[in-house]
Structure 1
């Protein structure tokens, strides 16, 4: 179990170090959201998707929300 935690932590740290314009300001906006709504609770969901390759890229064909159990 400790090994999985370490791998998750490494992945989290790696993603924080990587520069991606899509996520500019995300952390600040998230912190502001938590400050503005102190009772906010987050729920994590597991999803499964089928991706459809198109001539201009790809799109989600089917998206299923899965139970954690």
Structure 2
């Protein structure tokens, strides 16, 4: 809560944080590296990854 001084006294101002997007860059980098290495090492995983990529983005039904 922040307090601002106005001409007629003090007014209280409430600040609300609706969303905060914070992530650990090192963790994200490590997970990307692990996924990339797995794709390079495993032919079956590579084929599955290409199949999923070619299928297109996942669409979620409204109300599901």
By relative contact order (CA 8 Å, sep 6+), the higher-ranking structure is: 1
TM-score for the superposition, normalised by structure 2: 0.39
Larger gyration radius, structure 1 or structure 2: 2
